Amino acid sequence: MSCERAEELTPGYLDGELDLARSLEVEQHMHECQICARAYRNQTTLRSSLKNEALYYGAPEKLKKRIQASLRKEAKSEVFPRAFGWRWLTVGASLAFMLLIGVVVWRPVPRSIRPSGDELLAQEIVSDHVRSLQLENHRIDVISEDPHTVKPWFDGKLDFAPPVKDLSGQEFPLLGGRLEYLNNRTVAALFYSRRKHFINLFIWPSEHAGATGETTTQRQGYNLIHWTSSGMNYWAISDLNSVELHEFARLVQQGQ
């Protein structure tokens, strides 16, 4: 082994990240080469000077209490729309303000047509959609084109059974499903595609048994379609054009 190669491998050796064969080669070289052996000793010395409790900034006890308190507040405030930001400093003030709004405006209006709630929900859905596309495997927890695999996967993970349709015949192949946290609850997310576009279909039980027509919105270049039927809320989102996304929504609703 050359000194150059040894120098390259020394950090990995030090960090225990080399395989056995390589480690042995490095060790062999250290026996033969004083310069590399010294460089290695330097690094171990450096390491031991960093392994010093005084350099580790553990959390102060009061920070833990502060965080627990703010988490409890945050957990409580999750019912309310987050229109006023969620930074801890403003949580108290927003809570009071939102309570006031709640008393004046919110209560008499049924949830399903509350516009500000839907606005925020739409924003949440866009974020979830974008996030799901950013991650490897598109964050599918169960990868399957078969509804009979995807649907049972949700069993025991949700308190409802989301309808899962096979739309491959209509060129909207199912890719899989996953759990998502939306609207303060765990929901089912089904992942479909059309050509190179991806569609997320979020499903969770509705508070109302009845059906509503489709509502369409656009946000950040994505098309969103929302409807309620058979006691379930549906949100479909994609960068697909709105005509085809409507076709998708229609197919999902067919026979319900």
Partner 1 sequence: MVDGGVEKQEERLQKQNKLASFEEAVLPHLDAAHNLARWLTRNDADADDVVQEAYLRAFKFFGGFHGADGRSWLLAIVRNTCYTWMQHNRSPELTVSLDDDVPEIESKDLNPEALLLQSADTQMVRQALEDLPVEFREVLVLRELEEMSYREIASITDLPLGTVMSRLARGRKRLQLALTNRKHAEV
Binding site residues, partner 1, CB under 8 A:
7, 11-12, 15, 17, 35, 38-39, 41-43, 45-47, 49-52, 54-60, 63-64, 66-68, 70-72, 74-76, 78-79, 86-88, 128, 131, 139, 141, 179-182, 184-186, 207
Tokens of 129: 């959609």
Tokens of 67: 């965080």
Q: How far is the CB of 216 from partner 1 (least distance, A)?
A: 26
Q: How far is the CB of 41 from partner 1 (least distance, A)?
A: 6
Contact 230, 217 (CB under 8 A): no
Q: How far is the CB of 157 from partner 1 (least distance, A)?
A: 10
The rounded distance, in Å, linking the Cα atoms of 66 and 124 is 27
Q: How far is the CB of 236 from partner 1 (least distance, A)?
A: 20
Nearer to partner 1, 109 or 218 (CB): 109
User: What DSSP designation does 59 have?
Assistant: P
Q: Which residue has the tokens 């010294």?
A: 38
Nearer to partner 1, 137 or 254 (CB): 137
- Nearest CA-CA partner of 193 in 239, 250, 227, 254: 239
Q: How far is the CB of 183 from partner 1 (least distance, A)?
A: 10
Tokens of 94: 């927003």
Q: How far is the CB of 247 from partner 1 (least distance, A)?
A: 29
Nearer to partner 1, 50 or 103 (CB): 50
Longest dimension (CA), the chain: 84
Nearer to partner 1, 54 or 243 (CB): 54
The rounded distance, in Å, linking the Cα atoms of 204 and 230 is 11
Tokens of 20: 């056995």
The rounded distance, in Å, linking the Cα atoms of 37 and 236 is 62
Nearer to partner 1, 24 or 63 (CB): 63
Nearer to partner 1, 118 or 128 (CB): 128
